[in-house]
Amino acid sequence: MSLDQSNPNRVILCGLPAILACFKHHPRALRELRATREASEGLREVATWMKSQQLPAEVCGSRDVEELAGAAVTACAVTARPVIGLAKISDFVEWRDEGATVVVADNFTDPSDLAAVVRAMAAFGSKRLLLSGTSDTLAFDPILWDESRGALESVRMIRAPALPGLLKLIESTTVIIGLARGMGRRLHEATAVRAPGRHNLILLSPDGVSPSLQPKVEHLFRFPGPVADYPLAAGDSAALLFQWLSHSSKPKPEEGKGFLARKRARKAGKGD
């Protein structure tokens, strides 16, 4: 996969899954398509739409595809991406009303690790990814886009350079859950995270939560794995945390009922 350094918002997608995901979520981002005859069958709808927009969509030899992609692939597409905006307090009000889970990537330097996080987010329906000042340089990294396998098309990236100040402003309405290597509790030992009226923010940090952020973290968990020398990566750990949260955040059938209501429910159950 290649990246035009003269245009930092230009990303080349490789492979049918990534191109089809872009066409589904952001068709206006497409600028050019090249595919071999075999691959073009799966991209017929994409090519037809692009030609209707006066955009080049070519069926060509594998050498021409590889020349544009910079890799041995059978299909690639040039896309133009918008500038990533800054996180605003009003965004968090909207997300809280939606009950949305927001993910913050802090201190990420490996685009493959961040791509795994994006895939986990897409799998569990989380659509907001905040990139701290130490992670936002990966936003247009070709490896991130390649290894996210189209999942990045359903995730909105947002810059959050002043992360400590931002978390301080939202901590009263947000449950901040940290997941880091070598610090915090184990997931299977933790109590359920339930906070009515507040939404979850997951702070992911491969190398440990920064000291400036630790006071803001309400629940801190470590990357799972019994062997300290071979811990899971951030993306794998994020998938386990999403799975755990999806179950732990669900109230029990009797939770939220008063004592008398629970007593009547138990009595009614015995009478059946």
pLDDT, one tens digit per residue, over 125-143 is 999 999 999 899 999 998 9
- The CATH number of the domain covering residues in 89-248: 3.40.1280.10
Q: Which of 65-74, 135-144, 247-256 has the lowest mean pLDDT?
A: 247-256
Pairing mode, if any, of strands 75-80 and 10-14? antiparallel
pLDDT tens by residue, 150-161: 999 999 999 999
Rounded (10°) CA dihedral 118, 218, 135, 155: 30
CA distance linking residue 232 with residue 242, whole number of Å: 15
pLDDT at site 12: 93
Strand partners, 176: 201
Task: Report helix angle 89-98 to 163-170, nearest 10.
Answer: 50
Predicted confidence band at 209 (pLDDT cuts at 50, 70, 90)? confident
| Amino acid 256: pLDDT | 47
CATH class of 10-80: alpha beta
pLDDT of 47: 97
**Distances from the Cα of 106 to the Cαs of 100, 183, 205, in angstroms?**
19, 15, 5
Checking if the pLDDT of 263 tops 70, the result is no
CATH 3.30.1330.30-classified regions of the chain: 10-80
Mind giving me the DSSP string for 155-217?
Answer: SEEEEESSHHHHHHHHTTTEEEEEEETT-SB-GGGSPP---TT-EEEEEEETT---TTTGGG-
Delimiting residues of CATH 3.40.1280.10 domain(s) in the chain: 89-248
